Structure 1
Amino acid sequence: MADSRAFFSSDAHQHRRPRLLMRQRITANLRAFFANEDFIEVETPALQASPGNEAHLHAFTTHFLDNDLSQRPLYLHTSPEFACKKLMAAGESRIVNFARVYRNRERSPLHHPEFTLVEWYRAHAGYETLMADCAALLREAATTAGVTKLRYRGKEADPFLELERISVADAFQHYVGIDLLATIPDDPLAPPDRDALAKAASDAGVRIIADDTWSDVFSHVLNQKIEPFLGEGRGTILDAYPAHEAALARRNPADPRLSERFELFVCGVELANGFGELTDPAEQRRRFMLEMDEKERIYNERYPLDEALLALLPAMPPTSGIALGLDRLIMLATDAHRIEDVLWAPLIIPGAST
């Protein structure tokens, strides 16, 4: 059960305070990094008409009371992505947002209902540029903290080494012995082969249930057999996600089965998620609808689409964008074992487990 004394007694606070002061220094130096790269820091509202349209992200819901006393649903955003893309469509070329974001149904040593994302966008830049940004931010955080290794629960990574880069398909082959691409048809609109992937995963020791979709099986394998081993020794870029697992990313021009999406892992911790951004409004609408259909199937709920975003997408230049978990980066730089150790005032929900 959550207990305020665990964080706010004088002794407990003094124990956490060195990490909190380091949080302040790291955040300030990350802001300086972006300023030196000619980014404009923007602020976007947390309240949105649509909180995001990913099937497995859950928002906090509230209502706006209009002058005529009619209620309109609003949501605390799960990321500042939609608002940032509108700014890119309006003419900005490099923006960064240190955004407080909110996700329901999330609590673990690495998850907190309210946390901070550093989200940034570069117009007319390939998504590989974001990989270089990630490497620079790892170095910046470690240098600020005065450490030569990033750490999490006994695992270490050298932030000054070049990042490892491995495709999702190669990771499936290397860690699990699964030919992932054999389960994805060449036709980008055709469904992937759920049964083939389920059999391969089951043969590898992953528990599969009857109503698991291809995406479910994909996630089980990734979460159980691959992600825990990424980012040991050095950070790892897990690149070229299947297009079915990248609702907001451009397809890979060389292989439409794949996308311009990558994730950064350090010490087995997912730290960042980057894209070559999709700007085709019809395709984006189709993908959002598929995500919301899946959300309704599993959770019996769906969120509205952001029609303003879809209308503005054609005006957005070729853009790459990424979100990095600031709290997790600070955890790695200060060897913290739980996210509450690097939050000034962790959320206490009476009676809830932590």
Structure 2
Amino acid sequence: MSSPASSPWWSHERHRDRRPFLSVRGAITRAVRGWFEGRGFTEVETAALQVSPGNEAHLHAFASEAIGPAGERRPLYLRTSPEFAAKKLLAAGEGKIFEIARVWRNRERGPLHHPEFTLVEWYRANEPYEQLMDDCAALLRLAAETAGAERFEFRGRRVDPFAAPERVTLAEAFAAYAGIDLLATLDDGGETDRAALAAAAGNAGVRVADDDTWADIFSRVLVERIEPMLGEGRASILCEYPTAEAALARPKAADPRVAERFELYACGVELANCFGELTDAAEQRRRFQAEMAEKQRVYGERYPIDEDFLAALGEMPPASGAALGFDRLVMLAAGAQHIEQVLWAPVACLP
């Protein structure tokens, strides 16, 4: 196929090459919708414009503005996820909901990233987050069956989508692939020890800069040593993230150093991010403030906190939620090598 930048996406030749992938996308969309509906989920549609696009330090949004009848102005943002609105619906009394949601993230473009993309996001009230692991495995199988794919292949790596995913904790992965005792860099309440992780990473041959935070070092080890080992042969579920790396997830009852968060990988590609949801509004505010302080330090900007969302947390039942990158799932199932092969109309205004 022609490279993504070699001709407009609407050219006859390029569209002809992409058309089989887009056909698979439509089939998987219908199958996913039917899967959720068949399990008693309600499909919802939430607003794309939000007061806050999310409060994670390294998440970048597209800004907009609402102008009222009298000319009054209010900043708004295109959502980076439907999460805040979905949780408000849980607070309103919904129990099992899903959305096939168009979302936007700035500073993202490449073979696996696009500024406008689709998330499949779903929530289960009063159900454990381990149920989401089974959901993710089922959706991998569903996508493969729908596409007629016996395996997923990407960049020379293969996965059997019908095999049960392996489950590995962050502590196990850091020990196995980097020789680092991750939990030794966390105190009993989950607070991080930058010096301990810096020393361990340095001994493992991972570069550590003087101004790196604990989170910077954690991310570098994850990207360089852990992620390349995931999703080979079968999918991987990487679980029990340190609480410091799970801003919207509740701590595990048995070990508050880690949280009920996992990510799904196949062929080295991150497909889903899933939580046992935090419902403590005061703790959520503290985490948001810490994330925005870090965003201000690194990027010189911060996003507002959605006070309505924090108020809703007080009414929200215990729940688990997942966000799955739909375009990436289609890529793997259809055998595409670039995200723009599975998008009907890619954003064309960026280089």
TM-score w.r.t. length of structure 2: 0.97
Letter in 1 for 2:259: S
Give the aligned partner of residue 24 of structure 2. 22
Give the aligned partner of residue 121 of structure 1. 123
Give the aligned partner of residue 262 of structure 1. 262
1:346 aligns with 2:350: no
- Contact 2:4–2:340, Cα closer than 8 Å, also in 1: no
- Contact 1:330–1:342, Cα closer than 8 Å, also in 2: yes
Give the aligned partner of residue 160 of structure 1. 162
Deviations 1:120-162 (A, max 9, x none): 0001100000000000000000000111101211111101111
Letter in 2 for 1:23: R
Letter in 2 for 1:252: K
CA distance in 2, matches of 1:82, 1:232: 33
1:249 aligns with 2:249: yes
- Contact 1:147–1:333, Cα closer than 8 Å, also in 2: yes
Give the aligned partner of residue 193 of structure 2. 193
Matches within 5 A, 1:172-321: 172-188=174-190, 191-321=191-321
SS in 2 for 1:89: helix
Instruction: Give the superposition deviation at 1:3.
Output: 4.8
SS in 2 for 1:7: coil
CA distance in 1, matches of 2:76, 2:153: 38
Letter in 2 for 1:69: G
- Contact 1:169–1:181, Cα closer than 8 Å, also in 2: yes
Letter in 2 for 1:302: R
- Contact 1:198–1:208, Cα closer than 8 Å, also in 2: yes
Instruction: Give the superposition deviation at 1:203.
Output: 2.2
- Contact 1:168–1:238, Cα closer than 8 Å, also in 2: yes
1:146 aligns with 2:148: yes
Deviations 1:35-94 (A, max 9, x none): 101100000011000000010000000111122212110000000000000000000000
Instruction: Give the superposition deviation at 1:108.
Output: 1.3
Matches within 5 A, 1:78-93: 78-93=80-95
Identity of aligned residues (%): 61
CA distance in 1, matches of 2:182, 2:240: 12
Instruction: Give the superposition deviation at 1:211.
Output: 1.0
SS in 1 for 2:108: coil
Equivalent of 1:41, from 36, 43, 52?
43
Give the aligned partner of residue 112 of structure 1. 114
- Contact 2:66–2:75, Cα closer than 8 Å, also in 1: yes
Give the aligned partner of residue 328 of structure 1. 328
- Contact 1:99–1:116, Cα closer than 8 Å, also in 2: yes
Deviations 1:183-227 (A, max 9, x none): 101134xx4111111122122222221111000100000011111
SS in 2 for 1:5: coil
SS in 2 for 1:317: coil
Displaced runs of 4 or more, over 3 A? 1-4
TM-score w.r.t. length of structure 1: 0.97
Any unmatched runs of 5+ in structure 2? Answer: none
CA distance in 1, matches of 2:253, 2:242: 13
CA distance in 2, matches of 1:50, 1:283: 18
Residue 128 and residue 22 in structure 1: after superposition, are their counterparts in 2 closer, same or farther (change >3 A)?
same
CA distance in 2, matches of 1:236, 1:124: 25
- Contact 2:48–2:103, Cα closer than 8 Å, also in 1: yes
Instruction: Give the superposition deviation at 1:5.
Output: 2.4
- Contact 1:151–1:334, Cα closer than 8 Å, also in 2: no
Question: Larger deviation: 201-210 or 29-38?
Answer: 201-210
SS in 1 for 2:303: coil
- Contact 1:4–1:348, Cα closer than 8 Å, also in 2: no
CA distance in 1, matches of 2:47, 2:322: 18
Residue 29 and residue 2 in structure 1: after superposition, are their counterparts in 2 closer, same or farther (change >3 A)?
closer
Give the aligned partner of residue 103 of structure 1. 105
CA distance in 2, matches of 1:8, 1:285: 45
Any unmatched runs of 5+ in structure 1? Answer: none
Give the aligned partner of residue 57 of structure 1. 59
